[in-house]
Amino acid sequence: MSNILEIKNLSLKIGVQDILHDISVALPEKGIVSVLGANGVGKTSLMRCISGIYHATGGEICLEGQDISQLRSHEIVDRGICQSPEGRQIFSNMSVLENLVIGGGPLGRQELDHVLALFPVLRERLKQQAGSMSGGEQQMLCIGRSLMRKPKVLLLDEPSLGLAPRLVGFICELVTKIREEGYSVLLVEQNVKAALRISDRAYVIEHGKIVIEGDAQELANDPRVAEAYLGGHVHEDS
Ligand SMILES: Nc1ncnc2c1ncn2[C@@H]1O[C@H](COP(=O)(O)OP(=O)(O)OP(=O)(O)O)[C@@H](O)[C@H]1O
Ligand SMILES: [Mg+2]
């Protein structure tokens, strides 16, 4: 399987702080790859490097073999990478439909139908003010908005953040469904068990460096992962 996205030896310095160091991550086409790790280790910063919000100070980010690491964020969106950011960041005062239209750029009826087919809940609420929806619904809107552009690569930064355990499983099923539609997904999650269950591969970051990587199933059975991330704090109900 070829890699649609390849991050090679990426480093990021902000001021004097080394945020990311020698990060290499590969996302196969139509794959789900997870980036795991505790708070503050650099997961969101990595996503921001990929989406052009931060510019890497070393290394490469290759989309279909082309280095995009120095492009601006709007150029990266145009190339086919869309990020569903941490904390959702929907337009609370606008309707669900307006959020989808704005997020999607040049709206195609086809894209809208596609997103609404994936998220029937949104179809029922097109006119509702986005900020008045439940956390889970808002998360679906956030993901749906990213899909409006039919990206080649979807970046999801903690889609289950702040959601009830029951919804964590639901969001994971959705991510699986999105992959089945042909999207490639890079997923940041703190719900390690849930993320590993749906991923092909995973990378664990500590202090801006990859410390463990491998097949998701292997990592789920890796005692180092179990000890650090699965021990008694699995926020999941299955
Ligand atoms: N623009 C910035 N200026 C200074 N420091 C930054 C900046 N962006 C990120 N950092 C620092 O980089 C480190 C990693 O932050 P990041 O948000 O990437 O972590 P994270 O793994 O996503 O954490 P969390 O799980 O809490 O979301 C933190 O120490 C953060 O303060
Ligand atoms: Mg983060």
Mean residue pLDDT across the chain:
91
In the predicted structure, residue 236 carries a pLDDT above the cut 60: no
Top mutation candidate among 16, 17, 18 for ligand 1, by most atoms within 8 Å of CB: 17
- Average confidence (pLDDT) over 16-30: 97
In the predicted structure, residue 147 carries a pLDDT above the cut 60: yes
- Token pair of 93 as six digits: 């005062």
Confidence band of 89 (pLDDT split at 50, 70, 90)? confident
In the predicted structure, residue 163 carries a pLDDT above the cut 90: no
- C-alpha 45 – ligand 1 centre gap (Å): 6
How would you class 151 by CB atoms within 10 Å of its CB: exposed for 0-12, middle for 13-18, buried for 19 or more? buried
Nearest to 145 by CA among 93, 184, 199, 89: 89
Q: What is the CA radius of gyration of the chain?
A: 17
- C-alpha 19 – ligand 1 centre gap (Å): 7
Backbone φ/ψ region at 37: left (φ over 0), alpha (ψ -120 to 50), beta: left
- Distance from C-alpha of 200 to C-alpha of 30, rounded to nearest angstrom: 10
Closest-CA residue, ligand 1 atom 26, reads 39
Q: What is the DSSP string of 82-117?
A: EEE-TT----TTSBHHHHHHHHHSS--HHHHHHHHH
What is the domain partition of the chain in residue ranges? Answer: 3-80+151-230, 91-144
CATH superfamily, domain 3-80+151-230, is P-loop containing nucleotide triphosphate hydrolases (3.40.50.300)
What are the tens digits of pLDDT across the range 24-80? 999 999 999 999 999 999 999 999 999 999 999 999 999 999 999 999 999 999 999
In the predicted structure, residue 86 carries a pLDDT above the cut 90: no
SS3 30: coil
How would you class 90 by CB atoms within 10 Å of its CB: exposed for 0-12, middle for 13-18, buried for 19 or more? buried
Q: What is the pLDDT of residue 107?
A: 61
Q: Measured from the CA of 158, which atom of ligand 1 is nearest? A: 27
Neighbours of 149 (CB within 10 A): 19
